[in-house]
Structure 1
Amino acid sequence: METMDWWEIALGIIAGLVVIYAVLLLALWMYARRHPETVSMRDALRLLPDVLRVLRRLVADQTVSRGVRIKLVLLLGYLLFPIDLVPDFLPVIGYADDVIILALVLRSVIRSAGPDALRRHWPGTPAGLAVVEKLAGLPRGT
């Protein structure tokens, strides 16, 4: 009887994790549909080297609050970690989780650190900065 109870618990935990994962996928999909202004995957991949550089520079900037720097380190860890919430081999949504998480963290960071910190550390072109500002949800001309 004990073995049966153990399997029931294990199956319950697995079923719960599958449901949580499905809800997360649904939430990511709904977010992407509600926010069509979010940058396309092609633009995001093209900007990835500059985005990684600006994140690293913001982490090193002692004028940026510790909480913001911690968020950025966690984001860098997530982006560099080979295992994602949504596997990258899945069409469309595979990379969408990375872009959405990046956008959410950038919005939070810029809300705390200010858009000037992003502009001060941006290593790329003005056009690339405009795309990142769009991704971060900054209004045009700020």
Structure 2
Amino acid sequence: MVVLAKRLPPGLLREVLEFLPACVSTARTLRRDGAVPRRAKVALGVAVLWVLSPIDLLPEFLPVIGPLDDVVAVVLLFRYAARSIPRERVLAAWPGEPRLLLRVLGAPAR
């Protein structure tokens, strides 16, 4: 996915293809951080395992909806974990453009 995304012009499709690899990279970085609570580390670990697992709810060969279960699971787990991690720490661990991550995480908790 990363190789294909690098060849695409800037836009939404490129951002979507870069999303899951960026999530895995961010989760790995945050799991090593001692200031991240244990429940957030568990949620991030499950997100990484979900993406890397060969078992899917929807088979990957189905166009468009194949990777959908991965994206939905990662978004939900990231949002859950981000509730207990300072937003600045999550943004610092994100390897790409923060705009997409901010849309996924939603408005900051007040």
TM-score tier (shorter):
0.7 to 0.9
> Bigger CA drift: 106-115 or 57-66?
106-115
Shift of 1:136: 2.1
Letter in 1 for 2:36: V
2:25 to 45, 53, 57: 53
Letter in 1 for 2:98: L
Letter in 1 for 2:61: F
> Bigger CA drift: 48-57 or 94-103?
48-57
For the 8 Å contact 1:41–1:99, the answer to whether it is kept is: no
Give the Cα–Cα distance (whole angstroms) in 2 for the partners of residues 93 and 47 of structure 1.
16
User: What is the root-mean-square deviation in Å for CA atoms of aligned residues?
Assistant: 1.8
List alignment gaps of at least 5 residues for structure 2. 1-11
Give the Cα–Cα distance (whole angstroms) in 2 for the partners of residues 110 and 56 of structure 1.
14
How many residues of Structure 1 are paired with residues of Structure 2 in the alignment? 97
Deviations 1:75-127 (A, max 9, x none): 11111011111111112221111111111111111112131221122222xxx
For the 8 Å contact 1:119–1:129, the answer to whether it is kept is: yes
Percent identity over the alignment is 35
List alignment gaps of at least 5 residues for structure 1. 1-39
Pairing 1:112–2:84 present: yes
Find the counterpart in structure 2 of residue 136 from structure 1: 105
Structure in which a larger fraction of residues adopt helix? 1
Q: What TM-score, normalized to structure 2?
A: 0.76
Distance 1:136 1:105, change over 3 A: same
